[in-house]
Structure 1
Amino acid sequence: MSLIIYAIPVFFALIFLELWFDHKRRNVTYSFNDAINSLNLGVMSQVTGIAYKTVQFSFYLLVFQYLAPLSLGVDSPWMWLFAFVAYDFCYYWYHRMSHEINVLWASHLVHHQSEEYNLTTALRQTSGSFFAFVFYLPLALIGIEPYVLLTVASLNLIYQFWVHTRHIDRMPRWYEALFVTPSNHRVHHAQNPIYINKNHGGVFIIWDRLFGTFQAELREEPVIFGVTKPLASWNPLWANIEMYWSLTRDAWCTRRWQDKLGIWFRPTGWRPVDARQRFPSKAKDPYQQVKFDTPLTGRQKAYAFFQHLTLVAIALYFLLTSASLSTVGIFTGSGIIIFCLFCLGYYQEQRRHYVWLEGFKNVLLAVTAVWVLPFASQVYALLWLLLASTLLLRGMQQRQAQCAGTTQPE
């Protein structure tokens, strides 16, 4: 079991602490819709990861069992330290290539789509990192046990959580020289030309210093977060497939077979000439950034937050019980959660007929709970459905009153 699952309560506690700092310092580093969307993408990543990460880990296990000349064991503290550093070295190259090759960027792009920068951004992860395992196979060849790999991978990701904040400025010089810090990771999330494709390390910044991809955060160049082609959506499914869709469209419409195949492995941003002419790029000047958002009333935000907490609870239950589920159960559960996340994003965008879609989703969740949970919990499922429906209708009424110019009091 990944350590990430057990770290989730700590993550949320730190997010609430950061929100308190926002309030105390009168900073605005959070946007409601953006934060919920980032958290939803994190939930979706954990749920979908059950299937494809199992397949990836199986490849690692096969290489370790049949190709590794020896095992480094699990007892030596020095072995654990070596594995931790070696994993981060492999992570650096995977992360760097994810910014330099189209097909890898299509997956990693999700983590950079947010136009804010806070601890929820750290949890904004892709649901389709299909090629990552290739970069870690050398660790199997040198004898790092699969159990050790899973542990150091979790610790690596947990470390990266805290650096996604604007509330910490510069660390001591010696620490900035060796480790990834909030300052140099803010650079990594910037769309300013001087900062693009810099600072790829996960824990250690020394790899960037050694291989020429380091850039310090400059006082005279404030960071502008996000990507040059904004997502402009709260749909977690679209966030994950947007770039794949663009690459597939360009590969389909371009005439040269070399380009149809080569576009996937060309440098990030490369497109065939005829595809660029037919579908001009929508990239925008980062210095003219207008952040995407959808206005929600207070009651609508309360409903969205209530639904988000519900889906977090369902996802945690699903993750903790997944080992006892059949393959059909895993795919069914994943599908229901992904559908619910899609519905919540649809609601945040206030798309047409969102009330009917939310109503259907709420009934689906209640029916599933009645079917899966023991009898004593079924009453709670029906009470949840009643509460969710009430909040949904109250939010709709407030929106209608607001549009009519007679907003009801909170």
Structure 2
Amino acid sequence: MLDPLFGAPPIPIHQLLTVETNTPNLILWAVPVMIFFTAIEMIGAYVQERPVYEKHETIGSVLVGLGSLAVSAALKVALLTATVWVYNQLPWRMVLHWWTLIPCYIIYDFFSYWAHRVSHEQRFWWATHVVHHSGEHYNLSVSFRLSWVQHLKIIFFLPVALIGFHPIIFFTTNQIAVLFQFWVHTEYIRKMPAWVEFIFATPSNHRVHHGSQPKYIDKNYGATFIIWDRMFGTYQPEEETPVYGITTNIAHKANPFHINFHEFTDMVRDVRAARGLRRKLFFIFGSPTKIAEEKRQIATFDFSDKPHS
């Protein structure tokens, strides 16, 4: 007879250390493997003389990645405490069963799609995500470029926690979802079998997401499953070779602080210059694409309006 799914007792706060100990630290364990395959790709690109890596950009990716690990470690107890608190408030708490990882992962990926989409459609959230898109080369080290303030987006995953999954399942799911995205950041894996491309966010599908051409912008948000993009009209197959980076690429490519906070700095500057509450809110929560187009038009007008020598 199967054990009941619901009816788990609350987790006493003094048992937080036990929960933390029993949650596998998959990302930390995977770091050596990720470094190994990144080094292999880097060496291969050097031998083949392919411009896949650029020194300053790679340094920036590594420093951003190290900072992201440090921030995650510092926030781990706080996030775990909050998740356990939410779990304890629910009358439908799930018992810890390994197989609940499967529905949790699928549901988590669904909300990941929407969190990712909002991160491209609203400037405030874009500022927490542009770090990942600021690289002008596409390689495994790009997967290290995770914003130091990305944990703000945990609010988008609150519905997953409210379903009642055990905190160990929730945090394990999160780590697997992050690790899945490592292997898709490469040009060395071309298109995969059609059924794989139809279901999963493969390297080909994700290369499109990092493309800066108009047809590629704001497409293929799926983290693990590309099905969501097909369902909600944001799917775009890889056709011409993507041009990586953002529409206005950043300077100081090796500076992790500039990489992380340049968009927040620009946003504050735009809000200060804007007149009226509506305009200020536009520069905080408006579409990054529309804001960039408007600023480009203003810059062009200002330039053309000046007398030429």
Is 1:229 the counterpart of 2:248? The answer is yes
Give the TM-score normalised by structure 1. Answer: 0.63
Moved more, 251-260 or 94-103: 251-260
Query: In 2 relative to 1, CA 69–279 (structure 1 residues): closer, same or farther, beyond 3 Å?
Result: farther
Q: Which runs of 5+ in 1 are unaligned?
A: 282-410
Which position in structure 1 is the counterpart of 2:97?
A: 75
Please report how far the alpha carbon of residue 84 of structure 1 lies from its aligned counterpart in structure 2 after TM superposition: 1.2
| AA at the equivalent of 2:93 | S
Which position in structure 2 is the counterpart of 1:253?
A: 273
Moved more, 28-37 or 159-168: 28-37
- Match 2:64 to one of 30, 33, 41: 41
Q: Any idea what the Cα deviations from partners look like across 1:35-80, whole Å, max 9, x if unmatched?
A: 11111111111112333454444433322221x2312222242x11
Please report how far the alpha carbon of residue 159 of structure 1 lies from its aligned counterpart in structure 2 after TM superposition: 1.0
| AA at the equivalent of 1:197 | D
Query: In 2 relative to 1, CA 260–53 (structure 1 residues): closer, same or farther, beyond 3 Å?
Result: farther
Q: Any idea what the Cα deviations from partners look like across 1:244-264, whole Å, max 9, x if unmatched?
A: 111111111211022223432
* Secondary structure of residue in 2 paired with 1:199: coil
| AA at the equivalent of 2:83 | Y
d(CA) in 1 for partners of 2:245, 2:258: 16
Query: In 2 relative to 1, CA 229–17 (structure 1 residues): closer, same or farther, beyond 3 Å?
Result: same
| AA at the equivalent of 2:261 | I
Which position in structure 2 is the counterpart of 1:161?
A: 182
Give the TM-score normalised by structure 2. Answer: 0.83
Task: Provide the aligned C-alpha RMSD in A.
Answer: 2.2
Which position in structure 1 is the counterpart of 2:153?
A: 132
Query: In 2 relative to 1, CA 56–97 (structure 1 residues): closer, same or farther, beyond 3 Å?
Result: farther
d(CA) in 2 for partners of 1:109, 1:98: 9
Identical amino acids, percent of aligned pairs? 35
d(CA) in 2 for partners of 1:141, 1:184: 31
| AA at the equivalent of 2:30 | A
Which position in structure 2 is the counterpart of 1:239?
A: 259
Please report how far the alpha carbon of residue 241 of structure 1 lies from its aligned counterpart in structure 2 after TM superposition: 1.1
Q: Which runs of 5+ in 2 are unaligned?
A: 1-23, 301-309
Q: Any idea what the Cα deviations from partners look like across 1:212-238, whole Å, max 9, x if unmatched?
A: 1110000xx221000011111121111
Q: Which has the higher contact order (CA 8 A, sep 6+)?
A: 2
Is 1:90 the counterpart of 2:107? The answer is no
From the CA coordinates, give the structure whose radius of gyration is larger. Answer: 1
Query: In 2 relative to 1, CA 259–55 (structure 1 residues): closer, same or farther, beyond 3 Å?
Result: farther
d(CA) in 2 for partners of 1:10, 1:195: 31
Query: In 2 relative to 1, CA 117–145 (structure 1 residues): closer, same or farther, beyond 3 Å?
Result: same
d(CA) in 2 for partners of 1:149, 1:268: 31
Q: Any idea what the Cα deviations from partners look like across 1:361-401, whole Å, max 9, x if unmatched?
A: xxxxxxxxxxxxxxxxxxxxxxxxxxxxxxxxxxxxxxxxx
Is 1:116 the counterpart of 2:175? The answer is no
Query: In 2 relative to 1, CA 57–99 (structure 1 residues): closer, same or farther, beyond 3 Å?
Result: farther
Please report how far the alpha carbon of residue 276 of structure 1 lies from its aligned counterpart in structure 2 after TM superposition: 4.0
The number of residues matched between the two structures is 276
Q: Would you say the 8 A contact 2:98–2:169 is kept in 1?
A: no
| AA at the equivalent of 1:69 | P
Please report how far the alpha carbon of residue 98 of structure 1 lies from its aligned counterpart in structure 2 after TM superposition: 0.5
Please report how far the alpha carbon of residue 189 of structure 1 lies from its aligned counterpart in structure 2 after TM superposition: 0.6
Please report how far the alpha carbon of residue 25 of structure 1 lies from its aligned counterpart in structure 2 after TM superposition: 3.8
Which position in structure 1 is the counterpart of 2:9?
A: none
Q: Would you say the 8 A contact 1:121–1:164 is kept in 2?
A: yes
Q: Would you say the 8 A contact 2:200–2:227 is kept in 1?
A: yes
